[in-house]
Structure 1
């Protein structure tokens, strides 16, 4: 039985279809569970590991750098190893990284484990999407796309909930225990269904070590500058700018050399890909979405915790529930899109949802209710991600689907850009939050003065509430309470600024999608 199943072909046998679909789902589940959980758990992880945000930024920069380089080499490795052994090797490396993190109890071990996870897991998303093309053109391929989309949305919604429950009821190490369980399941399914035959030598793509080194150095410098600049931008702006410039120069050298020395089998078919106007437009849409998602994933927990005072576990549970809308969005999109494939209405609806999200969140107050105001807003954001990215994915790769290599390279490049977009969104959100919080804090702090009758009245009322202690201690406690609320309101006002900007971005996106025709 095992011997018969292991005799793979390039196109899976009908008896393997369920295992193929399970592999696609599990790869997406692993990818978005680990990115979602580690991103949402950043603040408590810093506390558990005893590191500053600046130190923790090194792990995210190193992971993203490894991810970019690993994704760029995905097709090159598959051609030499075959799909089965490439996925199994990736899962094994990812499992080792999870194991290191699980047994790690300090920052150095966590950093090593996280980077090892990046070597193994960075290409799960692109790999899952290209595996779908192993199905022959048929309704089965559409089922594969649905499985891919549901894996993405289910794992995105599940990640914050699992993090909140695990930190509350168990330990942070169990994040990686869950990932190890799903890694083993993915290895079992992929071992019995993926083709194991490598590509013929004369058809394999080529890779130059200097170009890979340039991409590695450039990716790390850019991503580290973005992450490091999130915390040191104002105090070390020159250093951050120099690091960013060096990184961009290195990436420019990689792109220019790849295009200039273009041959029949390049590492990435950048020249061929960007000759497609539809692909260029689609990548721009994806980059915009990932920029927004990166900034929102960072800011939303900060605003709900520090601005509105919700507990971290409460934020995780309700955030997960709100993102269930993305699962519903996939179901609606899959029902409507095949019958009405014109992309304009889906893009316009997506930006309407983003506008609703920005409008609702820009009207937050200290007494805002999680169930009646914030939860519906998060649901709108879930619809935005599905309808914009789902439609862009359906349109952007249309001209490349006939060429498996070009399609694989297109997916790789899109996911490399997504890593940069997410990092850039997080960095800009962090810098913006510091900037706007400082401005609002200074403005509010001006009213905390002895000559302000409103402040004196509030101080007197709060001090009376602490009447069980002596007057001097009561005044100190009242002042501390006011200072805490000044800081809390400053964060909330900074969040309102961000969501007002997001509302404007949604309007601009809606107008652009109304008049564009390339992605329709």
Structure 2
């Protein structure tokens, strides 16, 4: 009986030659497309789901926020999972969990079950979305990393570009449940690709070590508790009591202080006793690198604006302007296609142009797209859709400048051994910002609606008060993007990038 084929990284490289790194990138791209689709496409179904379960705005937004919290926290576990179980077992296990969450959410009969399914999807998506950046920085030479990131990004953004259009039609034709089933074919394809091209080894080409360092459970629990306190504290700032909000936000601060102290002590113990203890969930020594620190700040603020707007824009078009779910998908489709083209072109520029220049241009365009939303006048219905399409395209061009540049640029000064940790931290901070951004948009929107004496309503005729509340929320996002420019202008590498291995 012949031995099973060798699926270690060196063996796969030898089997497939120079094209292997692109086949590996394609394999993880399919899973990432499913993860990103599951995180964004649900927004098209929120109004219909809210009506089905008779949910208020605060409870409905937890369909998105619950996913974001789970995804944010699980990102920190990626380096440990890859070292302990290897790329393939980690990736395939997460894709099984993502598919199970999609099926459970589609068949759920109560809102708590829907929320549980979204949490399961978020846990899987967090780990899956961190892996591609590690592969690009380890498998590709420095002069190919921008190109690889651009091609990967082009493929990944096509899913959320086409997804809302298909999702809008599905919601109108079959209801909100159909949205959950869209990840299933992507998950099935990812299983086949993973079996052929994803290595069983861990980052660096070494064998996975199931008996290796344990998980930093205390750090993980503190990170989860702090994130939950932060988001619930933001919700309590509006619609709750000042005492509850203060207690929750104070708890978030205490969790942060305890987390930093714990991670410092864990890192110190690991250095003193390399063969004992656990690796820190977050290696805080990475922040001694200025480029990485500035990139982390940009990633956090950018996450607030990106995910906040991803939640806000479909709600604005449906509840603010009275458009149908299918209209929302059609309006967002051209912007998504433009993003796919821009991101591929900017990926090539990222190998030659300074990171700070590309990221700053992107932030300016993204901020402008939010600010220009105030030019949409419901009293002129013929202009609504053209302006929505135009401003969405401007914002997506901005994203096209940011996405291929930020992760790679922020980690180019790191040692190769720190790449997995760096990718995990950057992803965590971006998603933490995104989780806060979704809550922040919901809070500011409800605050401004109450200030103008308006309420959300799906469909119907747009009212000036309701539209004004949305416009003020968009201006808040524009200001946040402008704030990120101060850190983006300092994204300057201090050393040459290291060659791939």
1: distance between equivalents of 2:71 and 2:491?
33
Q: State the TM-score, normalized to the length of structure 2.
A: 0.84
Assess if the C-alpha contact under 8 Å between 1:219 and 1:251 holds in 2: no
CA distance in 2, matches of 1:440, 1:17: 55
Distance 1:273 1:203 in 2: 26
**1:43 corresponds to:** 47
CA distance in 2, matches of 1:334, 1:259: 36
**How has the CA–CA distance of structure 1 residues 91 and 372 changed in structure 2, closer, same or farther, with 3 Å as cutoff?**
closer
Task: Please give the alpha-carbon distance, in whole angstroms, between the structure 1 residues aligned to 2:105 and 2:77.
Answer: 25
Cα 1:517/1:88, change in 2 over 3 Å:
closer
Q: In the alignment, does 2:350 pair up with 1:337? A: yes
1:212 aligns with 2:226: no
Q: Residues 42-95 of structure 1: CA distance to partner in whole angstroms, max 9, x if unpaired?
A: 222222344333434454444333323322222212212111111111112222
Task: State the SS of the aligned residue for 2:114.
Answer: helix
* Separation (CA, whole Å) in 1 of partners of 2:366 and 2:140: 36
Contact 2:73–2:223, Cα closer than 8 Å, also in 1: yes
2:246 match:
241
CA distance in 2 between counterparts of 1:422 and 1:23 reads 26
Q: Does 1:298 align with 2:311?
A: yes
Q: Distance in 1 between matches of 2:46 and 2:161?
A: 17
- Once residues 424 and 303 of structure 1 are traced to their aligned partners in structure 2, the CA distance between those partners, rounded to angstroms, is 19
Whether the aligned pair in 1 keeps the contact of 2:146 and 2:408 (CA below 8 Å) is: no
Asked whether the equivalents of residues 230 and 252 of structure 2 are also in contact (C-alpha less than 8 Å), the reply is: yes
CA distance in 1: counterparts of 2:30 and 2:79, whole angstroms: 20
| Larger gyration radius, structure 1 or structure 2 | 1
Deviation at 1:139, TM superposition (A): 7.0
Residue in structure 1 matched with residue 287 of structure 2 by the alignment: 274
Q: Which residue of 1 aligns with 2:89?
A: 85
Match of 2:391 among 346, 353, 377: 377
Instruction: Indicate the structure whose relative CO is greater, using CA pairs within 8 Å and at least 6 residues apart.
Output: 2
Report deviation, 1:282. Answer: 0.3
Note the alpha carbon deviations across 1:167-213, whole angstroms, 9 max, x for none.
01223333232211111110111122222146475995443433332
Secondary structure (helix, strand or coil) at the match of 1:260 reads helix
- Which among 255, 260, 267 is matched to residue 255 of structure 1? 260
Residues 272-323 of structure 1 deviation map (CA, whole Å, 9 limit, x = unaligned):
2111110110011111111111222232223323333322321221023223
8 A contact 2:226–2:252 mirrored in 1: yes
Given that residues 11 and 136 in structure 1 are in contact (C-alpha distance below 8 angstroms), is that contact kept between their aligned partners in structure 2? no
Please report how far the alpha carbon of residue 396 of structure 1 lies from its aligned counterpart in structure 2 after TM superposition.
0.2
Aligned to 1:328: 341
Measured after TM superposition, the shift of residue 505 of structure 1 is 5.0
Change in CA separation of 1:97 and 1:356 when aligned onto 2, cut-off 3 Å: closer
Look up the match of 1:497. Answer: 472
Describe the shift of the 1:39–1:308 C-alpha distance in structure 2 as closer, same or farther (beyond 3 A).
Answer: closer
- Tell me, in whole angstroms, the C-alpha distance in 2 between the residues paired with 1:261 and 1:277: 23
1:475-486 counterparts in 2 under 5 A? none
1:467 maps to none
Q: Give the 3 Å change call, closer, same or farther, for CA 53–5 of structure 1 in structure 2.
A: farther
Which residue does 1:349 correspond to in 2?
361
1:180, 1:274 → 2: CA distance?
38
Deviation at 1:427, TM superposition (A): 1.6
Find the aligned partners of 1:136 and 1:390 in 2 and give their Cα distance. 14
How far does residue 387 in structure 1 lie from its aligned partner after superposition?
Answer: 1.2
- Taking the aligned partners of 2:326 and 2:146, their CA distance within structure 1 comes to 37
Give the superposition deviation at 1:126.
0.2
Are the structure 2 counterparts of residues 294 and 134 from structure 1 closer, same or farther at C-alpha, using a change threshold of 3 Å? closer
In structure 2, stretches of 5+ residues that fail to align are 272-277, 455-459, 495-501
Once the two structures are overlaid, the 10-residue window that deviates more, 211-220 or 251-260, is 211-220
The alpha carbon displacement at 1:373 in A equals 1.6
Structure 1 residues 203 and 286: CA distance shift in structure 2, 3 A:
farther
1:426 aligns with 2:438: yes
CA spacing shift, 1:201–1:170, aligned 2, 3 Å: closer
Give the alignment's Cα RMSD to 1 decimal: 3.0
Q: Report the counterpart of residue 470 of structure 1 in structure 2.
A: none
Task: Name stretches of at least 5 consecutive residues in structure 1 with no aligned partner.
Answer: 443-483
